[in-house]
Amino acid sequence: MATQRRSGQNISLGAHYAVHLPTPDDFAFWRERARGLIQSDIPPDRVSWIEPGGTGDLFASESPLRGDKRLPAPPADAPAVRTSQRFLTLARSAALHTDPARFGLLYRMLWRLQQNSRLMEDKADLDVRRIEELAKSVRRDAHKMHAFVRFREVEEEDGTPHFIAWFEPDHHIVRAEAAFFMRRFANMRWSILTPRGSIHWDGEVMHEGPPARREDAPGDDPVEDLWRSYYASIFNPARLKVGAMLSEMPKKYWKNLPEAELIPGLIAGAQAREAAMVAAGKREERVRPSTLGDVAQGAAACRDCPIADCGTRAVAGEGPPQATLMIVGEQPGDQEDIHGRPFVGPAGQLLNQHLTRAGIDRKDAYLTNAVKHFKFVYKGKHRLHQSPGAKEIDTCRWWLDAERAIVQPRIVLALGASAARGMLGRTVSVSKARDAPIMLDDGAELWVTVHPSYLLRLDGDARAAQTELFTADLARVQERLTQLAG
């Protein structure tokens, strides 16, 4: 048998090696084996890369056994394997493609990079073009998954919500994209079922499961109504480009998207709606909601500011629709976003204690927020509150105004500067504004005090002093409520 000497080791020129990948997306495994093979000087035409379920290579010396067990050990003094950042970035994505030839392509390119470190700069090279195509197609698939996964809510036996989605990826992207969904929905219990495997997040740990069928995922549920109204409200006929829409949202995904059934009708009515919008000189046609249910649905569908894409849901106000007292907070926090109710987290509990102490029954008040969605940043898997900006508060005022017009409270208690801005459309200093109520245009009184989360952030004397002021503010509101009732 012909041999070639390198670094003192005899290497067979004839042997053919089959490397069996444990999973079709195991880039790390490929990389480790590829390095060893390069260091052993095994050229690409003598290696077959076989994924699970793939046919063994009849010419490989180790096939059909797990041939990689008998791969040659690289010589101790083998030179380091050369690669390039660009190659690794593209290879990581391309490895997830369904093209059976992808691992062979990657190995050939790694082999060629040993001779030509500038290979990736050659845009005309067929291998470079192919890896770019594969990586692009995988990135596009991942983008579709981010955009088109739709969770349906089911109740577990213990009563906790579990969100389940069905998705059909083109490539082996499910495991690679799990981290995206984990970050996005860290506090929810969810599963994404696909024909290529399933992932399950229980709020703590990610589990993998076998491939699933469409019937394994639940069908319709109320979450879909939200999506439908969201989609109808963001659909801008003036921007409609049917070709671009179809390329961004291929028909194959439509069957899983509750909003898709609206598309033909929306397209058909687009010209008329566009003309009406131009005539009205407005960006959007909107009718002010006349019920609190409409406010809740509209706010859930609203995407007028970027916060709306942040949390899980819009948190609607709650309480009697004709309450005399309306309490306005800043925005839902982590717990409110999870439960879909205002003031149920730590600040809400402190507020409850103070209301009780002041003799105000929370159940008699209408509680809402200046901003209806939770704005946050991730720190690890925790969602850290971010204050809404003035523009975001002003954008969301439309919903707060609508609530006030429906409830018609006689007293509005604004908790903190964001709530005060939401009510007034301008920034006021809480320490000044708390001195006396401000008369609103409809004759209601606006009372301003600090937000309970401000008290939670203080310690020691500062907290005691501010708690005293807050208690006094609530006592004055209670006194005024008693006067108005008398």
- Which segments of 149-184 does DSSP mark as H helices, in order? 174-184
Kindly state whether residue 36 participates in binding ligand URA, applying the rule CB under 6 A. no
Q: Which stretch binds ligand URA (CB under 6 A): 40-48, 221-229, 331-339, 399-407?
A: 331-339
Question: Collapsing DSSP states into helix, strand and coil, what is residue 57?
Answer: coil
Kindly state whether residue 329 participates in binding ligand URA, applying the rule CB under 6 A. yes
On whether the CB atoms of residues 93 and 140 are closer than 8 A, the answer is no
DSSP 271-321: HHHHHHHHHHT-SS-----SSHHHHHHHHHH--SSGGGGTSSS----BS-T
Q: Is 199 exposed, middle or buried (0-12, 13-18, 19+ CB in 10 A)?
A: buried
Question: Collapsing DSSP states into helix, strand and coil, what is residue 328?
Answer: strand
On whether the CB atoms of residues 71 and 37 are closer than 8 A, the answer is yes
Q: Which stretch binds ligand URA (CB under 6 A): 218-226, 326-334, 391-399, 403-411?
A: 326-334
Kindly state whether residue 24 participates in binding ligand URA, applying the rule CB under 6 A. no
Among 51, 62, 318, 336, binds ligand URA (CB under 6 A): 336
Return the residue nearest ligand URA (CB atom).
Answer: 329
Binding map of ligand URA across residues 369-388, x = CB under 6 A, - = no contact: x-------------------
Q: Which is nearer to ligand URA, 387 or 408 (CB)?
A: 387
Q: What is the rounded CA–CA span in Å between residue 206 and residue 27? A: 19
On whether the CB atoms of residues 396 and 305 are closer than 8 A, the answer is yes
Q: Which is nearer to ligand URA, 135 or 344 (CB)?
A: 344
* Beta carbon of residue 323, minimum distance to ligand URA (angstroms, whole number): 16
Among 258, 332, 388, 422, binds ligand URA (CB under 6 A): 332
Q: Whose CA is closest to 342, among 385, 371, 310, 383?
A: 371
On whether the CB atoms of residues 478 and 358 are closer than 8 A, the answer is yes
Binding map of ligand URA across residues 411-450, x = CB under 6 A, - = no contact: ----------------------------------------
Q: Is 336 exposed, middle or buried (0-12, 13-18, 19+ CB in 10 A)?
A: buried
Q: Which is nearer to ligand URA, 62 or 318 (CB)?
A: 318
Kindly state whether residue 345 participates in binding ligand URA, applying the rule CB under 6 A. yes
Among 93, 229, 312, 331, binds ligand URA (CB under 6 A): 331
Among 44, 197, 348, 437, binds ligand URA (CB under 6 A): 348
Residues between 141 and 200 that touch ligand URA (CB under 6 A)? none
Omega before 346 within 30 of 0, i.e. cis: no
Kindly state whether residue 333 participates in binding ligand URA, applying the rule CB under 6 A. yes
Kindly state whether residue 342 participates in binding ligand URA, applying the rule CB under 6 A. yes
Total Cβ atoms within 10 A of residue 294 = 14
How many CA atoms, within 13 angstroms, populate the side-chain half-sphere of residue 399? 31
Kindly state whether residue 67 participates in binding ligand URA, applying the rule CB under 6 A. no
Q: Which is nearer to ligand URA, 166 or 343 (CB)?
A: 343
State the number of binding residues for ligand URA (CB under 6 A): 13
Please name the amino acid found at residue 63: S
Q: Which stretch binds ligand URA (CB under 6 A): 142-150, 208-216, 289-297, 344-352?
A: 344-352
Six-digit token string for 121:
């700069």
* Beta carbon of residue 367, minimum distance to ligand URA (angstroms, whole number): 7
Q: What is the rounded CA–CA span in Å between residue 422 and residue 420? A: 5
Q: Which is nearer to ligand URA, 331 or 395 (CB)?
A: 331
Kindly state whether residue 343 participates in binding ligand URA, applying the rule CB under 6 A. yes
Kindly state whether residue 311 participates in binding ligand URA, applying the rule CB under 6 A. no
Question: In the complex, which residues of this chain contact ligand URA (CB under 6 A)?
Answer: 329-333, 336, 342-343, 345, 347-348, 369, 453
